A and B are shown apart, each in its own frame.
Chain A
Amino acid sequence: GENVEQHPSTLSVQEGDSAVIKCTYSDSASNYFPWYKQELGKGPQLIIDIRSNVGEKKDQRIAVTLNKTAKHFSLHITETQPEDSAVYFCAASTSYGKLTFGQGTILTVHP
């Protein structure tokens, strides 16, 4: 089955800096790669996603890049703000729909 590895496990940045979180996946059939933000005690919230027919997608301060050949994808957050502090999860899925999650990254943005 699919295996998703996520790094780093923790990330600490100063407000205004950029943050990058990287994930690799194992199943070449995976074609959907969402990123979720989870705040303490809450369910995951979809922040951006990308499908395998696209190499990059951007939504304001958030961007995701996908390298299908290398089987890795990354989340980029620019101009970070304290409210960006949360746990971020990457995931991978095939058309069937089952998501396999990465281990999560605790992002802390210091004012």
Chain B
Amino acid sequence: GAVVSQHPSWVICKSGTSVKIECRSLDFQATTMFWYRQFPKQSLMLMATSNEGSKATYEQGVEKDKFLINHASLTLSTLTVTSAHPEDSSFYICSACPTSGGASEQFFGPGTRLTVL
């Protein structure tokens, strides 16, 4: 149980294009999902907290107009990187908190490798 999927697993795009990444909780409902970014050999940095049916809460320094988050259902959150640039190349990971579980327990997706040329 507690499986989180991400799609795509990797994507290569040209500079200036937009890329959408999906995060799904497969066997549980998640009121809250989180989006992280991880650069090579570094830790996970929280980008934003996504709550179903409401606007996402972004961490300091994360551009909300560049990283659009939509959490339209209890099993799906999407992250859209708009006008991507090479510096946006990174490993993007989502996590989901089961609605029925503890407030802190998070299950992570497998990540999406974004490369912007």
Contact = CB atoms under 8 A, between A and B. Distances in A.
A34 B34 CA distance: 16
Interface in A22-55: 31-32, 34, 36, 41-46, 49, 51
A66 B102 CA distance: 19
Interface residues of B, number: 24
A99 B106 contact: yes
B49 A98 contact: yes
A43 B110 contact: yes
Contact of B106 (A42, A97, A100): A97
Interface residues of A, number: 25
Interface in B99-115: 102-111, 113
Contacts of B104: 31-32, 34, 93-95, 97, 99
B94 to A, nearest CB: 8
Interface of B: 4, 6, 32, 34, 42-46, 49, 93, 95, 97, 102-111, 113
